[in-house]
Amino acid sequence: MSKDSVQIGLLGLGTVGTGVLKVLTQNSSDIEQKVGKKIEVKKILVRDINKPRRVEVDPSLLTTEVQDILEDEDIDIVVEVMGGIEPAKDYVLEALHRGKNVVTANKDLLAEYGKELFEASAEHSSDLFFEASVAGGIPIIRPLKECLAGNRIEEVMGIINGTTNYILTKMTTEGSDFEEVLKQAQELGYAEADPTADVKGYDAARKIAILASIAFGTRVTFRDVYVEGITEISREDIEYARELGYVIKLLGIAREKDGVVEVRVHPALIPVCHPLAAVNDVFNAVFVRGDAVGEAMFYGRGAGELPTASAVVGDIIEVARDLNLGVTGRIACTCFTQKRIKPIGEVETKFYLRLKVKDQPGVLAGIASVFGNMDVSLASVIQKRREEDWAEIVLITHQVQEKNLRDALTIIRNLSTVDSVGNVIRVEGSED
């Protein structure tokens, strides 16, 4: 590879692709110094050649035929920024099988077909980089694979979906309901017309699957992740949490202990003093705990044209450096063993829960005794609103096994003194 320049084929010219083109253009001379060669975009796959673009682009670079890129022997790096599983998967696999290096921002693809992709890249000692697939512009994949490689990582916990963080932040600061803020977010372009993947937690689940795989050296796919979204969070929950010294965030959580991995996405109460509690609006942050580094956190913009392009271009520069030295494939897949994934029932956390109960003596004692029989120990019980004969109580448990809590709630729901069990939300990030 002793060409004068590194040649790129770009698959897609949407938000991220446009950003990549802008960054490569505006910083071309700095990048050339760092790499020692020019980086040139040779072809761009688009659906419609005549569509107006938000970036200046030579029309002769555009093509609607993916083979113009995959079959071009001069193209060293295929940059996939189309998103979605198909046809991106076929294109990326074909590129790898043809010995090309791949940079992708595609979390769906990585979280579901990482194994196939890494096998194809290993076969040809190609680079397969995907920093942009998690937390946009925030460096997190490479820090985990390189800077923190000396650590046994114990925990990765992150706010890794900007849409839901925006919604929860607004619900917190404005005291509004979920539906109301979702509508605002859609109007502002912070939420999609179909917000399912974000608000149900699927997007965050794909990202935590990728982070868990790297952190623990084991394959974790989207299907391994226990997922709950934020659609049931009410402004009352947020208000009660605040009174108790917590904020509610949608967290991706991955932990390893004794060779067993737990990995989940759900809303959680975290103490206001936790570093993640101050991560607001569309910002993302990933908190990492390692046996040597202790606690570290990486914060920044988790989405958007230029932040995501920052990560993609960083990856392109790394591939170019490897190409210069003929050492692509330098850091390959790090999933060395297959560790057991703990079912959610076995996971231990604290819980916040709301119950509507009869406002009469002895009711709490009955509920407490059910919890006690199931090994669920209560850290605090606070009585909130009273309405006629009913009272709402808010409980926080100590660390309990989820199965035990669920069994206890099944019994409690059937008590004649209990009208209903309201929201049950896990509590994370507090000591003891």
According to the annotation, is 15 in a ligand binding site?
A: yes
Specify the residue, 299 or 390, whose C-beta has the smaller distance to a copy of itself: 299
- Cβ 68 to a copy of itself shortest distance, Å: 25
- When the beta carbons of 229 and 290 are compared against a copy of itself, the nearer one is 290
Give DSSP secondary structure letters for 368-406: HHHHHHTT--EEEEEEEEEETTEEEEEEEE-SEEHHHHH
Query: Whose Cβ is closer to a copy of itself: residue 309's or residue 353's?
Result: 309
Of 42, 43, 207, 350, which is the active-site residue? Answer: 207
Please, where are the H alpha helices in 235-304? Answer: 235-243
Note the residues at the interface with a copy of itself (CB under 8 A).
19, 23-24, 26-27, 30-31, 33-34, 131, 137-139, 142-143, 146-152, 217, 275, 278, 290-301, 304, 306-307, 309-314, 316-318, 321, 325, 327, 330-331, 334, 336
Task: Confirm whether residue 196 is marked as ligand binding.
Answer: no
Q: How far apart are CA 93 and CA 147, in angstroms?
A: 29
Say if residues 266 and 344 touch (Cβ distance below 8 Å). no
How far is Cα 227 from Cα 45, in angstroms, rounded to an integer? Answer: 34
CB of 213 to a copy of itself, least distance (A): 14
For residues 389 and 1, give the distance between their C-alpha atoms in angstroms, rounded to a whole number: 80
Q: Least distance in Å: CB of 293 to a copy of itself? A: 4
- Closest contact distance (angstroms) between CB of 41 and a copy of itself is 13
Q: Which residues contact 408 (CB under 8 A, 6 or more apart)?
A: 370, 371, 373, 374, 376
**Least distance CB 311 / a copy of itself (angstroms):** 7
Amino acid sitting at position 389: D
Check whether 11 is labelled as a binding-site residue: yes
116 within 8 A of 109, measured Cβ to Cβ: no
6 in a known ligand binding site: no
CA angle centred on 163, ends 110 and 106, rounded to 5°: 15
Q: Which is closer to a copy of itself, CB of 41 or CB of 347?
A: 41
Among 132, 144, 126, 79, smallest CA distance to 108 is for: 132
DSSP state of 158: E
- Please tell me whether 16 is known to bind a ligand: yes
Q: Is 17 annotated as a binding residue?
A: yes
Measured from the CB atom, the residue of 293 and 411 that comes closer to a copy of itself is 293
Nearest 5°: phi and psi at 149? -65, -20
Nearer to a copy of itself (CB atom), residue 85 or residue 327: 327
Pick the closest to residue 335 from 220, 181, 188, 169 (CA basis): 220
- CB 140 to a copy of itself: min, Å: 9
Q: How many CB atoms lie within 10 A of CB 129?
A: 26
Question: Would you say 400 is a known binding-site residue?
Answer: no
The reply to whether 207 belongs to the active site is yes
Q: Which residues are catalytic?
A: 207
Query: Which residues are documented as binding site for L-homoserine?
Result: 192
Query: Which residues are documented as binding site?
Result: 11-18, 107, 192
Query: Which residues are documented as binding site for NADP(+)?
Result: 11-18
